[in-house]
C-alpha cells in the first residue's frame, strides 16, 4: 500500500512540475498590461507577469491581428486571451495596432484590389512590425532577449509576419533591409506569403503553422489570394502553410504544421486555442535549440 502511495505522490509531483515549467506551464498569475505609442498614432499593448518584468533573457512575442487590412484591433478577445496566457508562462507579449491601409477603400482587399496594391499593403504592414520591434528593443522597461523575438499573426497579420520573416530578397522588399532583423520563430494562423522559394537556408525561421484545407480566402497550398481569377485585378499567387512547411522540411528546419482537413478561414481565430502547444514548440525550438519537425498534426478545436 505504501509503495502505491509513493507512486501516486511521484506522479502528482511530476505533473505539477510539468505544469509549472517556465515557458510551458502556468508559472505566474499576476499579469500587468500597459499601453504604448510606438509610431505616430500606432499603439501596442504590452503584457508581462509582474514577477517576470525584470527577466532580461525571456522571449518576446509580437502579436499582429487579422482583419484583411480593413479592420480588426490589437485587443480582440482572442488576442487578449492569448497574450495573457503566454504572459502567465513567463513570456513578454506585445499586441500591436498597425495601419489599416485598405479601410474605407472602394476595392477593399479582395479581387478588385490590384495585385500591386496588395504587395504594397504587405510592405506597409512589415514597416509597422519593424517599427514596433525597434521601439520595444530601445525601451528600457520591457526586458526581453532581442535574439528571441517571435512573430505571431492571424489572417492578414499572418501574411504580414510571414512576409516579414522570409521575404528579404523579394524585389519589393529589398528597400526595407530586412537582413538587419533576425527573428527566432513565427506562429501563423491561416497565413500565406508571396513566394516560398525565397525561404533559404539563411532565413529558414522556425514556424508553427495552423490552416484549414478549405480556406477560401488565404490558400492552404499554392493558389491566388482570395482565389481570384487570372483576369481579376487582384490576382496574386500566394504560398500557404503547407507549402511553407514543405519548404522548411526541405531545408531541415524546425516547423510544426497543424492541418484542419475540413477547416475554413475560421482557423485564423481558432488557432489561438493552441496556446499550450505553441508555448511548448517555442520553448523547444527557441530556448532549447531543438529541431522539432511535425507535418501530420490534425487540428481540433481547443478552448
Quick one: cell of 253? 528546419
Does some domain include residue 288?
Answer: yes
C-alpha–C-alpha distance, residues 213 and 24, integer Å = 29
Is 22 part of a structural domain of the chain? no
Each residue's pLDDT expressed in tens, for the chain with a length of 303 residues: 444 443 433 343 443 444 589 999 999 999 999 999 999 999 999 999 999 888 889 999 999 999 999 999 999 999 999 999 999 999 999 999 999 999 999 889 999 999 999 999 999 999 999 999 999 999 978 999 999 999 999 999 999 999 999 999 999 999 999 999 999 999 999 999 999 999 999 999 999 999 999 999 999 999 999 999 999 999 999 999 999 999 999 999 999 999 999 999 999 999 999 999 999 999 999 999 999 999 999 999 887
pLDDT at site 13: 40
How far, in Å, CA of 284 to CA of 21, rounded?
12
pLDDT of 54 reads: 85
Query: Could you tell me which of 137, 201, 124 has the C-alpha nearest to residue 164?
Result: 124
- What's the pLDDT score for residue 196? 98
CATH number at residue 148: 3.40.50.1820
In the structure grid, which three cell numbers stand for residue 42, read together?
Answer: 500606432
The answer to whether position 187 is within a domain reads yes
The range of the structural domain enclosing residue 36 comes to: 28-298
For residue 2, tell me if it sits in a domain: no
**SS3 string of 100-133?**
CCCCCCCCCCCCCCCHHHHHHHHHHHHHHHHHHH
CA distance 297 to 11: 27
Instruction: Note whether residue 12 is domain-resident.
Output: no
Q: Residue 19's pLDDT is what?
A: 56
Per the domain annotation, does 294 fall within a domain?
Answer: yes
Within a domain: residue 152?
yes
- As for how many domains the chain has, the answer is 1
> What is the torsion angle, in degrees rounded to the nearest 10, for the CA atoms of residue 178, residue 183, residue 187 and residue 188?
10
Q: Does the residue 141 lie in any domain? A: yes
At 74 the pLDDT is: 98
Q: According to the model, what pLDDT value does residue 2 have?
A: 44
Amino acid at each position: 500500500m505504501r509503495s502505491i502511495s509513493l507512486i501516486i505522490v511521484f506522479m502528482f509531483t511530476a505533473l505539477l512540475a510539468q505544469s509549472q515549467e517556465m515557458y510551458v506551464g502556468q508559472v505566474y498569475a499576476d499579469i500587468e498590461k500597459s499601453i504604448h505609442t510606438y509610431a505616430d498614432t500606432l499603439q501596442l499593448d504590452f503584457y508581462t507577469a509582474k514577477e517576470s518584468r525584470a527577466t532580461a533573457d525571456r522571449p518576446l512575442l509580437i502579436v499582429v491581428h487579422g482583419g484583411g487590412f480593413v479592420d480588426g484591433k490589437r485587443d480582440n478577445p482572442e488576442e487578449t486571451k492569448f497574450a495573457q496566457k503566454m504572459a502567465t508562462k513567463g513570456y513578454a507579449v506585445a499586441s500591436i495596432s498597425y495601419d489599416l491601409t485598405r479601410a474605407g477603400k472602394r476595392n477593399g482587399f479582395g479581387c478588385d484590389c490590384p495585385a500591386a496594391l496588395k504587395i504594397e499593403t504587405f510592405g506597409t504592414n512589415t514597416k509597422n512590425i519593424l517599427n514596433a520591434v525597434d521601439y520595444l528593443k530601445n525601451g528600457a522597461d520591457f526586458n526581453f532577449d532581442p535574439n528571441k523575438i517571435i512573430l505571431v499573426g492571424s489572417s492578414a497579420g499572418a501574411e504580414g509576419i510571414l512576409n516579414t520573416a522570409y521575404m528579404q530578397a523579394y524585389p519589393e522588399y529589398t528597400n526595407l533591409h530586412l537582413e538587419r532583423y533576425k527573428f527566432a520563430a513565427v506562429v501563423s494562423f491561416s497565413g500565406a506569403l508571396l513566394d516560398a522559394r525565397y525561404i533559404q537556408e539563411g532565413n529558414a525561421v522556425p514556424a508553427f503553422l495552423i490552416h484549414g484545407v478549405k480556406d477560401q480566402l488565404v490558400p492552404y497550398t499554392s493558389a491566388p489570394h482570395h482565389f481570384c481569377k487570372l483576369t481579376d485585378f487582384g490576382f496574386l499567387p500566394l504560398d500557404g502553410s503547407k507549402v511553407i512547411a514543405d519548404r522548411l522540411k526541405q531545408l531541415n528546419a524546425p516547423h510544426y504544421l497543424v492541418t484542419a482537413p475540413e477547416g475554413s478561414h475560421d482557423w485564423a481565430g481558432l488557432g489561438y486555442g493552441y496556446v499550450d502547444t505553441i508555448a511548448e514548440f517555442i520553448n523547444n525550438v527557441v530556448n532549447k535549440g531543438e529541431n522539432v519537425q511535425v507535418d501530420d498534426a490534425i487540428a481540433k478545436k481547443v478552448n
